Amino acid sequence: MAMNDVQLPDGATQLAEDVMRLRSCAVLQMDHHGRILDCNAGVLGVFGYRSDELVGRNFACLFSSAELDRGSDRAALTKALLHSFENQGLAMMRKDATRFRAGLLLERVEGSGDATPRVLMVVRDLSDFFQTQKRVNEAQEIALRAQRLDAVGKLTLGLSHDFNNLLSVIANSLDMLAARRTGDESARRILDIAHRAVERGTQLTRQMLAFGRGQTLVPEVSDVGHLLQSSLELYRRVCGETIQLNIQVAQGLPPIAVDTGQLEAALLNLLSNSRDAMHGVGRVVLEARLETAVLPGGKGEEEDFVCITVGDSGPGIQAEIQGSVFEPFFTTKSVGDGSGLGLSQVYGFASQSGGTATIGRSALGGAAVSLYFPVVR
Ligand SMILES: Nc1ncnc2c1ncn2[C@@H]1O[C@H](COP(=O)(O)OP(=O)(O)OP(=O)(O)O)[C@@H](O)[C@H]1O
Ligand SMILES: [Mg+2]
């Protein structure tokens, strides 16, 4: 029976007619076994079936196989026959076998006289609602992560300033001792060790300072393609011969204002992370393209960025640790192999430059870390 040919019972009200024509949600009437007796025009929009294709079939054909395995159809019918059943988010299946999340309401309707009870089912497609909710949750998670990094950044900045001052005093004192050296070889060796430790400490505080956005940046209006090409040899050397490094720069990229030395340091950090994750063998792509995005914690408006991504064919960064890798001192490497400051330098530098850094999955199968820099118009 085609939808518009549905025969309404005698004395049907205007409301019943309107329900039969309703397109935004499917309304089905079933017997107590779940056999579909009648349905409205909405089954076409929601499930892709004409009503005459459904009448006579069991309503289980509208559930995804996962829900059928769970017995959701039987549970819904049993509960409806007792009284009613409601659910927001069951996985239903359209005629073309695509699945969608649905809002379901089933209610028992008494048959007249001795007639067995019937069940009325109302179904709404909630895909858009769930999609929007997913996007809102993701945006909230990103904003929370940015807030947490900001708080840790402030703490790190205070610490690194204090350590920097202490290290300067130690370095000056060592210089004075070295100047008074009396030719004692073992004293010279001890001083050398102390000097190297101070240098390492200074390097660490510099990275902490970078994370806390406390570096003195010297931005220059630059063409990213040109910058990447001019450091290509250095990048290749860091990757080593057993890693194939490719550069892809989109045509006509607008310039960005960036501290070129710090950009190079950030990319070296990312390339060495890729190299380590792949144990020195694999593929890396260094890509630059134009992207329009809303900066987390920014003006809330879309802006144009030059996005520089380092993607690799390594194992990727597990979802559970993606929220932590930008934090200072987070590392999965053994003691002595990594201090966990590489990505925090990258994040702090990108943020201080008016952009941000994000983690994703590379087309090569591994991790992709992207740096966003606002374009200069
Ligand atoms: N390309 C990547 N593939 C897989 N995991 C990665 C990648 N880049 C970073 N990681 C993970 O993120 C962690 C933090 O990286 P980060 O660069 O901040 O510190 P690190 O490399 O461990 O030490 P450091 O850079 O200070 O020597 C790494 O220990 C690793 O677990
Ligand atoms: Mg690193």
Higher pLDDT, 299 or 40: 40
Query: Crossing angle of helices 127-179/342-352, nearest 10°?
Result: 110
Ligand 1 atom closest to Cα of residue 312: 1
Ligand 1 in contact with 285 (CB < 6 A)? no
* 320-340 average pLDDT score: 91
For residue 314 and ligand 1, the question of a CB distance below 6 A is answered with yes
The band of 295, judged by pLDDT with boundaries at 50, 70 and 90, is confident
Which residues lie closer than 8 Å to 76 by C-beta, 6 or more apart? 85, 87, 90, 104, 106
Q: How confident is the model at residue 4 (pLDDT cuts 50, 70, 90)?
A: very low
Please report, rounded to a whole number, the percentage of residues in the chain having pLDDT higher than 70: 96
End-to-end CA distance of the chain: 62
CATH homologous superfamily of 134-374: Histidine kinase-like ATPase, C-terminal domain (3.30.565.10)
Average pLDDT, rounded, for the chain: 91
Which has the minimum average pLDDT: 21-30, 93-102, 109-118?
109-118
DSSP labels, 311-338: EESS----HHHHTTTTSTT---SPTTT-
Percent of the chain with pLDDT strictly greater than 90: 71
Examine the pLDDT at 6 and tell me if it is beyond 70: no
Q: Specify the pLDDT at position 9.
A: 58
Across the range 114-130, mean pLDDT stands at 92
Contact yes or no for 269/346 (Cβ under 8 A): yes
What pLDDT does residue 1 have?
43
User: Which ligand approaches the C-alpha of residue 341 most closely?
Assistant: 1
Residues 6 or more apart whose CB falls under 8 angstroms from that of 376 comprise: 221, 254, 255, 256, 257
Please identify which residue in the block is written with the tokens 């379901």. 104
Ligand 1 centre to CA of 331 (Å) is 6
pLDDT above 90: residue 180? no
Compute the average pLDDT of residues 167-193: 88
The CATH homologous superfamily of the domain defined by 3-125: PAS domain (3.30.450.20)
- Where exactly are the structural domains of the chain? 3-125, 134-374
Which residue's alpha carbon is at the smallest distance from atom 6 of ligand 1? 317
How many CB atoms within 10 Å of residue 149? 23
pLDDT at 301 (0 to 100): 85
